[in-house]
Amino acid sequence: MPRRIVTLTTDFGTSDHFVGAMKGVILSICPAAEIVDITHEIAPFEVTEAAFLISEAYPTFPKKAIHVVVVDPGVGTSRRPILVEAAGQFFIAPDNGVLAMVYGRTPHKARVITSERYFRKPVSRTFHGRDIFAAAAAHLAKGVPPARFGKLIDDHLKLAFDKPARTGKRIWTGTILKADRFGNLITNFHVADHPEIQTRPFEMQAGVQRITRLALTYADAHAGELFLIVGSTGYYEVAANQASAAHLLGCGVGAPVELTIY
C-alpha cells in the first residue's frame, strides 16, 4: 500500500496524550499513513489563527494529502464534522470556519460527515479529534471514497477573515491573523489587494504606533525599528529587525490595524 499523507493541525499542544492518541487511531486504521505534524500550538479555540495557518501550509503539499484541522470550541455541541475537497487535497474539520481561508483560495466541495461507521466507538463527548476527525481521516487515507462519508452541502460556514473593511475614502480597518514565533504580526492586508502600499505614502496604525515605512528585507531596517514587509505569505506583516513587533506593540492575534493611504 502506498504511503498516504495525513497532516495534523490542532490547538491540543504537545504536552498531553491527545496528539499521540490521534496518531495511534490513524495508524491502527491505516498503517500506511504518513503522519505529518503541521502544528499543535494554535492558541486554544483560535479558529481564525488555524484558518490562516492551514491556508498557508496546504499549498505546499502534494495532491491527495489529507489535512485534519481540529480547533473546536464547540466540541460536544451540534456543530458538524465536514470533509472538504479542494485543490486535489482533502480537509477534515469541524464546520466552524476553520477552513474558510481554504475556501477563499480555491474552488471546493464540502460534505457533512454522517457515517458513524467511520468513527471510533464509543464516541466521547469531549475528544472528537480522536474519535471522529482522526478516525475519518484514516478511513479516507485507507481508500474509502469521500461520498461514503456523507452528503454534499452548501450551507457550511464561510467567513472572510482575510478581507479588511473599507471604513473611509482612503482608510481600511483590518486585523492581525497571527503573531509568529519571531513576533512578526501578520495582518490580513494582502499585497494583491493592496498594491498601493508599495507605491504611495501610507500609514499603518498598530497598537499606539504609526508605521510608515515598507522594507524589502528584515536586514534593511535598524535593529528594533518597526516597519511593514511583504511576508512570505503575501500578507503585509508588521515587523522589527531582530526584535519582536508583537512585544514592542503589545499586540497579538485579533488586534485591529488601520491603514490610511495618502
Q: Is 228 in the site for a copy of itself (CB under 8 A)?
A: no
Q: 145-158 in b/e burial notation, b at 16+ Cβ within 10 A?
A: eeeebbeeeeebbe
Number of helices and strands in the chain (H, E)? 7, 16
Distance CA 100, CA 97 (A): 5
Q: Which of 231, 185, 187, 178 is nearest to 39 (CA)?
A: 178
Closest to a copy of itself by CB, 42 vs 98, is 42
Q: Is 27 in the site for a copy of itself (CB under 8 A)?
A: yes
Distance CA 48, CA 161 (A): 7
* Shortest CB 181 distance to a copy of itself, Å: 3
Based on C-alpha coordinates, what's the Rg of the chain? 20
Binding test (CB under 8 A) with a copy of itself, winner from 13, 143, 201, 224: 13
Q: Is 161 in the site for a copy of itself (CB under 8 A)?
A: no
- Element of type H or E holding 9: strand 4-10
CB atoms under 10 Å from CB of 122, counted, come to 7
Binding test (CB under 8 A) with a copy of itself, winner from 147, 152, 165, 216: 216
Fill in the amino acid letter for 161.
Answer: F
* Shortest CB 150 distance to a copy of itself, Å: 22
Binding test (CB under 8 A) with a copy of itself, winner from 35, 102, 185, 228: 35
* Shortest CB 177 distance to a copy of itself, Å: 11
Q: Which of 61, 74, 55, 70 is nearest to 133 (CA)?
A: 70
Closest to a copy of itself by CB, 87 vs 171, is 87
Grid-cell match 500609514, residue found = 203
Residue 75 C-beta-side C-alpha neighbours within 13 Å: 21
Fill in the amino acid letter for 58.
Answer: Y
* Shortest CB 40 distance to a copy of itself, Å: 7
Binding to a copy of itself (CB under 8 A): which residues in 65-124?
A: 65, 73-77, 124
Q: Is 222 in the site for a copy of itself (CB under 8 A)?
A: no
Closest to a copy of itself by CB, 75 vs 171, is 75
| Binding site residues, a copy of itself, CB under 8 A | 3, 5, 7, 9, 11-25, 27-28, 31-32, 34-42, 44-45, 52-54, 56-62, 65, 73-77, 124-127, 130-131, 178, 180-182, 216-219, 229-233, 242
